């Protein structure tokens, strides 16, 4: 394989489609001013009507979201396994690592188990030049011949997407995938991706493998609340929502790992945006802008959950901050997405942000009204439409999580359903933190700390019918 040493470097998308450009465009400020001015005028002159319109608009929005979840369940049947191919293309594997010295033996061991001809395989452990401990661990670890250590030259910003672009600059053709330090990809994942690209449409640019949360090595250990909710959330996204969007031919935000690309297409769009803290979400829509189609796979990658609140909150804050960045970037030129891309952008990132913003407020309002009525000796009452929205929203969320969990082979029962509103409310805390960080520290990367954690001996990697 060509070593790519004479290839031009990859620096990310142009400024107009990069999070590096801060602030709103003139068009965004104009639209924002018109909406804010109209809302202020309506509140001042017709406060009752303004409140009614706002409330009913939110009701319609959340009913539409509940309907979408039901549609997604119906559309998201597991895809057929592709016919294996023998003429396998060159494949590159990239893992960007920072302060992961303890994880080196684990990730190297798991990448070594990938089932792909070694003469067609090339891999990079990309490590920043100042991370001496991780560099030393990677160089001293017994690695397969196809996996090399690539030290990223000093530069800014010191982010995962910049490291990925440095490795992408070494590639010329074939396919490429990305893994994180804690990942355990299915050994057949590269072969499945190669087969899907070979049999798929010419404009297929990326395939997303399902990410699943690893069960504990000790089955007797009770998994904590955050682990279970996080696993169900992943199952909803990767087993229900993304397959449904694929069936509809719509773009979607990629996961941060286990996405498989055509190298030539990825280079054409500028690779990853080094300034976006959810470079994966942005890239899915940027590929769509350039005429690329996205798809999903069946061979999973297992991950560990972030852990306690101290680890979960910074990770979720970064995700929501990146969603805000991505939404603002692509709304600079919304017509470039087309109506279908624009619909998907708002159906995924837009709805996720609105939901995170209002979850805690909605739960507190329901509790306050119910407790207030009970303390006054009254029967709790609410408008029928409000009850419909509440029931439909909760039921569709529970059902999509249950279906996704069955397919992913992760636990989800009535206890998880009862405690889910608490988890949803915690997203509001992360939303407030993310908004503040977007204003004050837009490019700060809240890195998740990983520790070696061998998986249980037997994972249920097959999908169950649902």
Strand ranges inside 266-314, DSSP E? 293-296, 301-303
- pLDDT on residue 459: 43
Question: Which helix (DSSP H) or strand (DSSP E) does residue 211 occupy?
Answer: strand 211-213
CA distances to 68, 320, 431, 441, 445 from 436, rounded to whole Å, are: 30, 11, 9, 8, 14
Per the structure block, which two tokens stand in for 127? 């490590």
pTM, two decimal places = 0.90
Positions in the chain whose pLDDT score sits under 50? 456-466
Query: How far from the centroid of its chain's Cα atoms is residue 215's Cα?
Result: 20
- pLDDT on residue 55: 77
CB of 143 within 8 A of CB of 106? no
- pLDDT on residue 466: 40
CA distances to 87, 195, 254 from 198, rounded to whole Å, are: 10, 5, 21
- pLDDT on residue 216: 64
- pLDDT on residue 451: 82
Task: Give the C-alpha separation, 84 to 105, whole Å.
Answer: 30
Q: Residue 94: helix, strand or coil by DSSP?
A: strand
Q: Which residues contact 93 (CB under 8 A, 6 or more apart)?
A: 111, 114, 121, 122, 123, 124, 147, 176, 177, 178, 179, 190
- pLDDT on residue 457: 41
- pLDDT on residue 32: 82
- pLDDT on residue 454: 57
Each residue of 40-93: pLDDT tens digit? 887 788 877 777 787 778 778 889 999 999 999 999 987 788 889 999 999 999
- pLDDT on residue 101: 95
- pLDDT on residue 59: 79
């Amino acid at each position: 394989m060509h070593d790519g040493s004479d290839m031009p470097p990859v620096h990310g998308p142009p400024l107009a489609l990069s999070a590096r450009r801060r602030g709103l465009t003139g068009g965004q400020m104009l639209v924002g001013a018109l909406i804010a001015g109209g809302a202020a005028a309506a509140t001042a002159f017709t406060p009752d009507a303004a409140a009614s319109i706002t409330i009913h608009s939110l009701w319609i929005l959340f009913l539409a979201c509940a309907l979408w979840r039901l549609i997604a369940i119906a559309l998201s049947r597991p895809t057929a396994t592709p016919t294996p191919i023998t003429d396998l293309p060159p494949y590159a594997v990239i893992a960007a690592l920072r302060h992961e010295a303890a994880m080196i033996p684990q990730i190297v061991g798991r990448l070594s188990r990938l089932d792909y001809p070694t003469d067609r395989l090339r891999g990079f452990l990309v490590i920043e030049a100042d991370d001496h401990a991780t560099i030393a661990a990677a160089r001293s670890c017994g690695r397969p011949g196809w996996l090399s250590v690539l030290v990223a030259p000093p530069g800014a910003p010191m982010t995962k997407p910049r490291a990925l672009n440095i490795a992408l600059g070494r590639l010329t053709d074939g396919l490429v995938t990305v893994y994180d330090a804690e990942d355990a990809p299915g050994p057949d994942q590269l072969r499945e991706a190669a087969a899907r690209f070979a049999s798929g449409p010419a404009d297929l640019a990326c395939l997303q493998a399902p990410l699943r949360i690893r069960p504990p090595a000790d089955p007797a250990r009770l998994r904590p609340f955050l682990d279970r909710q996080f696993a169900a959330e992943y199952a909803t996204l990767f087993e229900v929502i993304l397959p449904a969007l694929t069936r509809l031919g719509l773009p979607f935000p990629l996961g941060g790992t286990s996405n498989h690309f055509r190298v030539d297409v990825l280079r054409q769009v500028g690779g990853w945006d080094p300034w976006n803290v959810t470079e994966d979400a942005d890239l899915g829509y940027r590929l769509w802008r350039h005429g690329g189609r996205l798809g999903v796979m069946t061979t999973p990658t297992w991950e560990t959950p972030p852990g306690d609140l101290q680890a979960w909150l910074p990770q979720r804050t970064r995700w929501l901050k990146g969603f805000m960045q991505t939404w603002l970037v692509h709304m600079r030129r919304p017509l470039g997405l087309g109506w279908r891309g624009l619909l998907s952008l708002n159906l995924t990132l837009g709805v996720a942000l609105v939901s995170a913003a209002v979850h805690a407020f909605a739960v507190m309002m329901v509790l306050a009204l119910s407790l207030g009525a009970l303390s006054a000796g009254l029967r709790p009452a609410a408008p029928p439409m409000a009850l419909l929205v509440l029931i439909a929203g909760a039921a569709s969320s529970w059902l999509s999580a249950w279906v996704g969990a069955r397919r992913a082979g992760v636990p989800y029962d009535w206890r998880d359903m009862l405690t889910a509103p608490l988890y949803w409310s915690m997203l509001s805390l992360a939303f407030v933190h993310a908004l503040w960080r977007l204003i004050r520290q837009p490019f700060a990367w809240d890195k998740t700390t990983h520790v070696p954690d061998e998986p249980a001996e037997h994972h249920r990697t097959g999908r169950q019918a649902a």
